[in-house]
Chain A
């Protein structure tokens, strides 16, 4: 199988995209009164690294069978996915105005077919990885040199289906699959490691037969470098444990779990956008 070329955008372009996406996400949360703002902000850099630096996708041909697949398994970060896809050119930003509106196409969790570029319906946790493995196996059978990236939350790693999938992926030697864990150390009601024994997370994936890398989940170059290793021909799938900060990018939201459910006021939106340099 010939490996298609990878043409990552330059770092400055990615940083600009990340700021713009964060600004949109804050506005969307306010306008649509939608929760999960902290969860959306924590994974923006991962989305940007994937869509601008790694994935071989063409917004003009979103259904190309040979495209790389990105699955937002932590579906509650849909705002970030929608904003990233719009920013990447999959659809016009005006579609974002339909977010969470009656009869709109973009619901609080993504639905397959709701917009170009959305690859799966997610929201219930622990579903994205098995779906991604099925896609990777299908592409292997069909002879497409596809890579699959699945973005999960740390709380999501508490679902048993994740570990069923982890065992299966290693047995099937699916080294074209990468999982990125948005390890922001929070889940809905508390610290992930206090609720379930998450630590050491990378060692768990290693023990399940994966290659595990720990990176700063807000370091775009490090994320691109990690995901760019796929496939490394080792036969081992890749788990990127991305250490992140919930609410990243807006000082008064960072690492404050109230923003799992809180909706920003108009003043807070203005303050957030100012901090992001978007005024």
Chain B
């Protein structure tokens, strides 16, 4: 996904002289083509995320379109007040790009995990939160982010995420993308967990439960039309995300659901990260398996819930 981001931002910078890229001392080789073509519009801001975010806001206040790029926990939580005040309160078009969302960097330990970022950033007024599912969605999301008039958080994985789109999708901010139709359940995937949701749906199909899978690439603004239809039509609506069960996509959907009257028939099931730091060694796959986020675990769990619901 980060390669797709680097290619997309380089392409956009060629077409739009307002595009500026600020990096928090990462992605050096990754951005070599950008730096070679636009040396005046690339800034390595060092290990100083608060300053980087404020600088980006100042640039945006003068008409530029800055993208800040670093590892998700530092891009978001380290500089949270700068995002809140300099970017969101001024309502300026800065795109905060967090690479390594969720457990992409699981092996680096909890300092490098970002499982609370969506909760924090979607609570900020004016902020749009985009979590593309694969490289194809990243390319669309970068262009869509640049087209916004205000702040955007763009949450990326790392690299090698499975493709869920064979061709470039129709990507509209605030509109989920249905990847697979189904009759009994609806899986709302977030970011690279969309691929996991698709695998789980294949397993469910074999077990006799037909599931729709949606890429909910925009957490804010939420696709309320899609939710209204899904909760009317499906007995089970499951969120699948690599984010804390507090405040992520499941949280956003639950907030929406609580405001519906009369309540729709569908039941919300949340697959996400428990409210705990993950201290064990091991990579992303291991962390997911420990917390019930593999396709098999999700499918088994949903079959149990579906059985109980019958």
Give chain A residues whose Cβ lies under 8 Å from the Cβ of B41.
141
Give, as a whole number of angstroms, the nearest-CB distance from A57 to chain B. Answer: 15
* Residue of A whose beta carbon sits closest to that of B58: A134
The digit string for B196-221, where 1 denotes a CB below 8 A from any CB of A, is 00000000000000000000000000
Identity of the chain B residue whose Cβ is nearest the Cβ of A134 in the assembled complex: B58
Interface size class on chain B is: 20 to 34
Contact in complex: B62, A135 (CB < 8 Å): yes
B59 touches A121 (CB 8 A): no
**Do the beta carbons of A132 and B58 come within 8 Å of each other?**
yes
Cβ of A127: which chain B residues have Cβ within 8 Å of it? Answer: 54, 81-82, 85-86
- Contacting residues of chain B (76-90) with chain A, CB-CB under 8 angstroms: 81-82, 85-86, 89-90
From B48, B54, B89, contact of A134 by CB (8 A): B54
* Residues of chain A within 8 A of B51, CB atoms compared: 130, 133, 161, 164-165, 168
Q: Is A265 an interface residue (CB 8 A)?
A: no
B127 → A minimal CB distance (Å): 16
Instruction: Establish whether residues B45 and A168, one from each chain, have CB atoms under 8 Å apart when the complex forms.
Output: yes
Decide if A277 is an interface residue (CB 8 Å cutoff).
Answer: no
* B residues 57-85 touching A (CB-CB < 8 Å): 57-64, 66, 81-82, 85
- Cβ of B89 and Cβ of A121 under 8 Å apart? yes
Q: What B residues does A7 contact at CB under 8 A?
A: none
CA distance A141 to B254 in the complex (A): 45
How far, in whole Å, are A165 and B85 apart by their CA atoms in the complex? Answer: 16
Contacts of A160 in B (CB 8 A): 50
Query: B54 and A121: CB pair below 8 A?
Result: no
Q: Produce 1/0 per residue, A114-137, CB < 8 A to B.
A: 000001110010110111111111
Bound Cα distance from A160 to B89, whole angstroms: 21
Q: Are B56 and A134 in contact (CB under 8 A)?
A: yes
Nearest CB in chain A to that of B56: its residue: A134
In the assembled complex, how far is the CB of residue B267 from the closest CB belonging to chain A, in whole angstroms? 42
B55 close to A137 (CB less than 8 A): yes
The distance in angstroms between the C-alpha atoms of A112 and B57, with both chains bound, is 13
Q: Is B239 an interface position by the 8 A CB rule?
A: no
Q: Tell me whether B43 is interfacial, beta carbon within 8 Å.
A: yes
Instruction: Identify which of A124, A131, A171, A172 contacts B61 (C-beta below 8 A).
Output: A131
Instruction: Assess the B81–A124 pair: CB atoms within 8 A.
Output: yes
CB-CB contacts of A129-159 with B at 8 A, as 1s and 0s?
Answer: 1111111111101100000000000000000
Q: Is B46 an interface residue (CB 8 A)?
A: yes
Q: Which of A133, A134, A139, A161 contacts B50 (CB 8 A)?
A: A161
Closest residue of B by beta carbon distance from A165: B51
Tell me the bound Cα distance from A273 to B50 in angstroms. 42
Chain A residue numbers with a CB within 8 Å of B59 are 134-135, 137-138
> Would you list which residues of chain B between 136 and 159 have a CB under 8 Å from chain A?
none
Closest chain A CB from B216 CB (angstroms): 32
B53 at the interface (CB under 8 A from A): yes
Distance A139 CA – B60 CA, assembled complex (angstroms): 11
* CA–CA, A134 and B59, complex, Å: 4
CB within 8 Å for A134 and B57 given contacts A112-B90, A124-B85, A127-B85: yes
Does residue A215 face the partner (Cβ distance < 8 Å to B)?
no
Give the CA-CA distance A119 to B46 in the complex, in Å.
Answer: 26
A-B pairs, 4 with minimum CB distance: A134-B58, A130-B54, A138-B62, A164-B51
Pairs across A and B, CB under 8 Å, 5 listed: A112-B89, A129-B54, A130-B86, A132-B58, A141-B40
Known pairs A127-B54, A130-B82, A165-B51. 8 more at Cβ < 8 A? A121-B85, A131-B54, A131-B57, A133-B55, A138-B61, A138-B63, A165-B48, A168-B46
